[in-house]
Amino acid sequence: MVVVTLNEEDRLRACLESAAWADELIVVDALSHDKTVPIAREFTDRVIVRPWPGFAAQKNLAIGEASGDWILSLDADEMVSPELRGEIARVLAEGGPHDGYRTPRRNIFWDRWIRHGGLWPDWQLRLFRRGCGTFVDRAVHESVDVTGSVDRCRGALVHRSYRDVADFLARADRYSTLAAEEWVKRGRRVRATDFVLRPAGRFLSMYILKLGCLDGVRGLLLACLYAYYVFIRSVKAWERQGESRR
């Protein structure tokens, strides 16, 4: 199992405990200034500390350090459920037969599982045969590309992504900057409608079409927050396009 970290002292222990059964645990840390590294070293001596080169690059480096036949890549805010552990054990015992496996991710916000709004099942490809999977080099929302066949597991990852609203807003600021830079790099122009229609579309999609309304006030707040993210991403892309014309 491999995991990348940066200042995750409050969540890393639960992550590593959920995967302590793995034959190999590798943690790649991006110069954390809290207790992340000491916590990681309670579980493994394979702790690598290096500067942050980007999401995909850091995760691919961690993959390259693994020596097992199979790799499970986790984020520090994720945990392996008992059901998923059993399925992974079966896959490893049978040697596949596929080269990669997607697993549903159970997103937890404000201590409750969010079942709607497009946040479930939230399929993630995290288990793959060594040598068959790499993270695609994107500025944000990196994903694994597997050479070979891919199947699905039923057991879930448990994802405790945002500590609170302040954490969401801080991440939205970082991720929207990266996404805006990628938007500009691809040469896409920002239109006035992107400031209105895209955020409104995200809200309506999450809250109405994907039934986020069934998650109560949490569903409403998340639809609003994700719409806000889409809005500031468009604004930042517009700013950068203006700077490129000067």
CB 190 within 8 A of CB 236: no
| Residue 135 near residue 59 (C-beta atoms within 8 A) | yes
> Do residues 109 and 161 touch, judged by C-beta distance below 8 A?
yes
- Nearest to 14, CA basis, from 49, 42, 48: 42
- In tens digits, what is the pLDDT along the chain, a chain of 246 residues? 999 999 999 999 999 999 999 999 999 999 999 999 999 999 999 999 999 998 999 999 999 999 999 999 999 999 999 999 999 999 999 988 999 999 999 999 999 999 999 999 999 999 999 999 999 987 677 889 999 999 999 999 999 989 899 999 999 999 999 999 989 988 889 999 999 999 999 999 999 999 999 999 999 999 999 999 999 999 999 999 886 555
Instruction: Give the angle 220-225-227 at the CA atoms, nearest 5°.
Output: 95
Q: In angstroms, rounded to a whole number, what is the distance separating the alpha carbons of residues 131 and 134? A: 8
Pull the structure tokens for residue 104: 């549903």
DSSP-assigned letters across all residues of 164-202: SHHHHHHHHHHHHHHHHHHHHHTTPPP-GGGGTHHHHHH
Q: Is 4 left (phi over 0), alpha (psi -120 to 50) or beta?
A: beta
Q: Which strand (E) or helix (H) includes residue 129?
A: strand 124-129
Question: What does the block give as tokens for 231?
Answer: 């809005």
Measured in degrees and rounded to the nearest 5, phi and psi for residue 130 equal -60, 135
Q: What is the pTM of this model?
A: 0.90
Q: Measuring CA to CA, which residue among 138, 143, 160 is closest to residue 100?
A: 143
